[in-house]
């Protein structure tokens, strides 16, 4: 995975942004989190488990941004909380710079807590409304008894400037700020202890479009200037693509595909990755016409021909049927098989390992028995939803429900 630089120009560029990736900063192996379900009679006991995260492997290198995408219930947020050890794993191992922190207690975690910080989705509820901005940002320094040269207040004012707020905001309260500014306060708080890694859980999804870009730019600048590595968790594939050099796609507690940006967005192999990319609505499909430029490698971005009397089925449209199954009783074998158009008997009996498969570039791992071709250009539509026009055609396609 350290040979990312060989796979494409975007990665090459990213490698120049931060410190060169060497030893991974954070490694998770077979990381698992099951939340128990209580029930039974007459005395409550564990009767099952929500398999939120089920044996995932990942490594985050210094200075890189590692993206985690997936739909609700895929376990990406739980993964974020496990990596920051806000949750304790049920099984597996997490090590930070070679040190095992899987079950480390508060005391052992203390020095690491300052190096791994978290940014949350909701800038409204993650800030204490009764604290001043200064108190919020200096909080982590107080807890960890850190006294920066020049004093905490000077450091807070410096941090405010770093995140694009005014140092005069020191004595204000969170409610005096807009959503985007509040998220900046959250970022400043995360920066207070000079972290090496920030786990950002949907940091921009609560913000308006025009404000999103401001916060993404800020995070990008922090990564470039301070060399902070990110685990960037989001459901928005375009945002993740923009910010992360390597991306893992999660489905029902498993990583189904991981690789550098090019691999995931241009040469995806897993059917679920294909379905996700195909589902992203794209506002820029018409821009090419106006600008007179071509949109050749747009892939799925250009696939959905929409306007003019309702959406016509695009050439490569993929529409899944139904919803994600319950993580309490996930499907056997490959968890995606119940919604997959390529599923066969083997998929139910044998779980595909996350591994390099023939045709993948270096560092590109796919967990699939019957992968798709490494392209986003697709000849015919896959419409599994029976309610949609063309849904019947896909059934003849050989779909096993």
Partner 1 sequence: MLRFLIRRSLGAVVILVLISAITFFLFFALPADPARLACGKNCDPASLALINENLGLDKPIPVQYGEFMVGIVAGRDFPVGHCDAPCFGYSFVNQEPVWPTIVDRFPTTLSLALGAAVVFLAVGVGLGMIAAWRRGTWIDKLFSSLSLLGQSLQVYFVGVLCLAWFVSGLSIMEQPAYHPITENPARWFSGMLLPWLVLSLIFMANYSRMTRSQLVEQLHEDHVRTARAKGLSGRTVFFRYAWRGAIAPIVTIFGMDLGSLLGGAMITEYTFTLHGVGRLAVDSVRLTDLPMLMGVMLISSAAIVVFTIVVDALYAVIDPRVRLA
Partner 2 sequence: MTTATHGAPAPAPGATGGYLSVRDLRVRFATEDGTVRAVDGLSFDLERGRTLGIVGESGSGKSVTNLTVLGLHDPRTTTVEGQILLDGQELTGAGERALERLRGNKMAMIFQDPLTALSPYYTVGRQIAEPYRKHTGASKRAARQRAIEMLAKVGIPHARRRVDDYPHQFSGGMRQRAMIAMALICDPDLLIADEPTTALDVTVQAQILDLLGDLQQEFGSAIILITHDLGVVANAADDLLVMYAGRAVERGTVREVLSAPQHPYTWGLLDSMPTLAGAVDTPLTPIPGAPPSLLAPPSGCPFHPRCGYTAVVGGDRCATERPALPAGRGAACHLGAERGGAVRRGGGGAAGAGPAGATRTDNGPAPADGPAPANGPAPADDPAGGGPANKEPGGGPSQGGDR
Out of 226, 238, 348, 377, point to the residue binding partner 2 (CB under 8 A): 238
Interatomic CA distance for residues 313 and 305, integer angstroms:
7
Cis preceding linkage at 42, omega within 30: yes
Interatomic CA distance for residues 188 and 182, integer angstroms:
10
Interatomic CA distance for residues 148 and 262, integer angstroms:
41
Residue 56 CB-half CA count within 13 A? 30
User: With respect to partner 2, which residue has the nearer C-beta, 109 or 213?
Assistant: 213
User: With respect to partner 1, which residue has the nearer C-beta, 328 or 393?
Assistant: 328
User: With respect to partner 2, which residue has the nearer C-beta, 93 or 167?
Assistant: 167
Interatomic CA distance for residues 200 and 215, integer angstroms:
12
Q: Is 109 in the site for partner 2 (CB under 8 A)?
A: no
Q: What is the DSSP string of 65-96?
A: EEEEE--TTSSHHHHHHHHTTSS--SEEEEEE
Q: Is 30 in the site for partner 2 (CB under 8 A)?
A: no
Written as six digits, the tokens of 229 are 């590595």
Segment 40 to 59, residues that bind partner 1, using CB under 8 A: 41-42
Contact assessment for residue 133 and residue 174, using Cβ atoms and an 8 Å cutoff = yes
Q: Is 386 in the site for partner 1 (CB under 8 A)?
A: no
Closest separation in Å from C-beta 49 to partner 1: 17
The binder of 297, among partner 2, partner 1, none, by C-beta within 5 to 8 A per type, is partner 2
Q: Is 225 in the site for partner 2 (CB under 8 A)?
A: yes
292: left (phi over 0), alpha (psi -120 to 50) or beta: left
Q: Is 17 in the site for partner 2 (CB under 8 A)?
A: yes
Q: Is 256 in the site for partner 2 (CB under 8 A)?
A: no
Interatomic CA distance for residues 203 and 119, integer angstroms:
6
User: With respect to partner 2, which residue has the nearer C-beta, 85 or 337?
Assistant: 337
Binding mask 328-367 vs partner 2 (x if CB under 8 A, - otherwise)? ----------------------------------------
Closest separation in Å from C-beta 158 to partner 2: 14
Q: What is the largest CA-CA distance in the chain?
A: 71
Q: Which of these ranges, 85-93, 105-113, 163-171, 352-360, lies near partner 2 under the rule CB under 8 A?
A: 163-171
Q: Is 299 in the site for partner 2 (CB under 8 A)?
A: yes
The binder of 42, among partner 2, partner 1, none, by C-beta within 5 to 8 A per type, is partner 1
The binder of 358, among partner 2, partner 1, none, by C-beta within 5 to 8 A per type, is none
Cα 50 to Cα 75, 78, 147, 348, distances in angstroms:
10, 11, 42, 20
Written as six digits, the tokens of 147 are 């006294």
Out of 46, 221, 329, 346, point to the residue binding partner 2 (CB under 8 A): 221
Q: Is 308 in the site for partner 2 (CB under 8 A)?
A: yes
Out of 293, 358, 379, 396, point to the residue binding partner 2 (CB under 8 A): 293
User: With respect to partner 1, which residue has the nearer C-beta, 40 or 150?
Assistant: 40
- Order of strands, edge to edge, in the sheet holding 365-366? 116-119, 197-201, 229-234, 65-69, 246-251, 254-260, 365-366
* Count of residues in contact with partner 2, rule CB under 8 A: 85
User: With respect to partner 2, which residue has the nearer C-beta, 96 or 232?
Assistant: 232
Contact assessment for residue 153 and residue 133, using Cβ atoms and an 8 Å cutoff = no
Segment 11 to 40, residues that bind partner 1, using CB under 8 A: 39
Footprint on this chain of partner 1 (rule: CB under 8 A): 39, 41-42
């Amino acid at each position: 995975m350290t040979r990312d630089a060989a796979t494409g120009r975007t990665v090459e560029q990213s490698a120049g942004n931060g410190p060169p990736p060497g030893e991974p900063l954070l490694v998770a192996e077979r990381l698992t989190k099951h939340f128990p379900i209580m029930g039974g009679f007459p005395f409550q006991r564990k009767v099952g488990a929500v398999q939120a995260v089920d044996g995932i492997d990942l490594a985050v290198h210094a200075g890189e941004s590692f993206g985690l995408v997936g739909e609700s219930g895929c376990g990406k947020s739980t993964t974020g909380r496990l990596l920051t050890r806000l949750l304790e794993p049920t099984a597996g191992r997490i090590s930070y710079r070679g040190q095992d922190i899987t079950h480390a207690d508060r005391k052992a975690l203390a020095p690491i807590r300052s190096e791994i910080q978290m940014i949350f989705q909701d800038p409204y509820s993650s800030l204490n409304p009764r604290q001043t901005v200064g108190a919020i940002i200096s909080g982590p320094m107080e807890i960890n008894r850190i006294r920066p040269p020049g004093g905490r207040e000077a450091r807070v004012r410096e941090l405010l400037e770093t995140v694009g707020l005014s140092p005069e905001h020191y004595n204000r309260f969170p409610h005096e700020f807009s959503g985007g500014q509040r998220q900046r306060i959250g970022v400043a708080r995360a920066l207070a202890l000079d972290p090496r890694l920030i786990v950002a859980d949907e940091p921009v999804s609560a913000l308006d479009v025009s404000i999103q870009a401001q916060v993404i730019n800020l995070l990008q600048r922090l990564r470039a200037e301070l060399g902070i590595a990110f685990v960037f968790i989001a459901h928005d594939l375009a945002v993740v693509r923009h910010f992360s050099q390597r991306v893992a796609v999660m489905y029902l507690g498993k990583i189904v595909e991981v690789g550098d940006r090019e691999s995931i967005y241009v040469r995806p192999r897993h059917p679920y990755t294909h379905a996700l990319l195909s589902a992203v609505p794209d506002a820029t499909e018409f821009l090419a016409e106006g600008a007179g430029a071509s949109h050749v490698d747009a892939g799925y971005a250009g696939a959905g021909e929409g306007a003019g009397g309702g959406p016509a089925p695009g050439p490569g449209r993929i529409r899944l049927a139904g919803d994600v199954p319950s993580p309490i009783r996930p499907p056997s074998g490959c968890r995606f098989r119940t919604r997959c158009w390529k599923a066969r008997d083997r998929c139910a009996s044998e779980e595909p390992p996350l591994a390099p498969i023939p045709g993948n570039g270096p560092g590109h791992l796919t967990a699939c028995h019957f992968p798709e071709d490494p392209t986003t250009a697709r000849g015919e539509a896959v419409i599994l939803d029976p309610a949609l026009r063309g849904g019947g055609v896909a059934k003849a396609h050989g779909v096993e429900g």
